[in-house]
Structure 1
Amino acid sequence: MTTDHTPTQSQNGSAPPPATKAELEAEISELRQSVGETVEALTYRLDVKSRAKEKVQAVPSYVPAGIAAALAVGLGLWLWRRHG
């Protein structure tokens, strides 16, 4: 009784190795694309300065004006209570 000891998808959880040169080249191309996307994502995540600038630019222009108005009202109320 002979048994085939070549790994299959069900035995080791990965696809069997490609059989032809074209399959190898396709697999390498997919791997390069995947690694490139991963590097790009990591580069973006590590560039905190650019991400912070993007978030600041995404804030609507009325938000800083609203914050300034709220601070002015708060300061006015504080001064009024203090001197009143």
Structure 2
Amino acid sequence: MSADKSPTATEATKSEPAKDPAQLRAEIAEIRAELGDTVEALAAKADVKAQAQAKVAQTKEQAQAKVAQTKEQLREKAAQARVQVGHTAETLKAKSTDRETWPKLAAAAGVVAAVVVAVLGGRTIRARRASKTQRLLRKAGRR
């Protein structure tokens, strides 16, 4: 026999006073409820498909929250950019209406136009000269 002196189930019931049937039924109902909760928890842990679906749903919610947060940040940045562009435009407008700036801008535009005309006109003149030279060479080669 063992040296352990723990009471067995029958000895434990003998040492306790007898309980009335209503109290026993209440204890049994409580134990059944606890057992049901335990079984449900074990079944949930064993259900891999449900766990995967829960994880997918959780990840989806996190992604949607991140997208919403990023959209809000982009809206804020766009609003800041609009304000900054407005300030820059106002500054440029103020500078361009300055009476000292207009003559300089007109002179610069004139120089650019003259350069464009000279380059394009020079090409046309060179093309005409080349075509005259080619015609002369052709005539000389035929005779």
Q: What is the TM-score of this pair, normalised by structure 1? A: 0.51
Q: Any runs of at least 4 consecutive aligned residues in structure 1 with deviations exceeding 4 A, and if so which?
A: none
Residues 1:43 and 2:35 aligned together: no
Q: Distance in 1 between matches of 2:45 and 2:37?
A: 12
Residues 1:33 and 2:61 aligned together: no
Q: How has the CA–CA distance of structure 1 residues 20 and 53 changed in structure 2, closer, same or farther, with 3 Å as cutoff?
A: same
Higher helix share: 2
Q: Distance in 1 between matches of 2:49 and 2:42?
A: 14
Q: Distance in 2 between matches of 1:39 and 1:25?
A: 21
Structure 2 stretches of 5 or more lacking a match? 1-6, 68-143
Decide which structure has the larger Cα Rg and report it.
2
Equivalent in the alignment of 2:23: 23
For residue 30 of structure 2, what is the amino acid of its counterpart?
E
Secondary structure in 2 matching 1:19: coil
Of all paired residues, the percent bearing the same amino acid is 41
Equivalent in the alignment of 2:80: none
Q: CA deviation at 1:53?
A: 1.1
Aligned residue pairs total: 51
Q: What is the TM-score of this pair, normalised by structure 2? A: 0.31
Q: How has the CA–CA distance of structure 1 residues 51 and 21 changed in structure 2, closer, same or farther, with 3 Å as cutoff?
A: same
For residue 48 of structure 2, what is the amino acid of its counterpart?
V
Q: How has the CA–CA distance of structure 1 residues 62 and 28 changed in structure 2, closer, same or farther, with 3 Å as cutoff?
A: closer
Deviations 1:39-73 (A, max 9, x none): 1000100001111111111112359x9xxxxxxxx
Structure 1 stretches of 5 or more lacking a match? 1-6, 66-84
Q: Distance in 2 between matches of 1:49 and 1:17?
A: 49
Q: How has the CA–CA distance of structure 1 residues 23 and 50 changed in structure 2, closer, same or farther, with 3 Å as cutoff?
A: same
Secondary structure in 1 matching 2:53: helix
Moved more, 17-26 or 42-51: 17-26
Question: 1:57-72 alignment to 2 at 5 Å?
Answer: 57-59=57-59, 60-61=62-63
RCO higher in 1 or 2 (8 Å CA, sep ≥ 6)?
A: 1
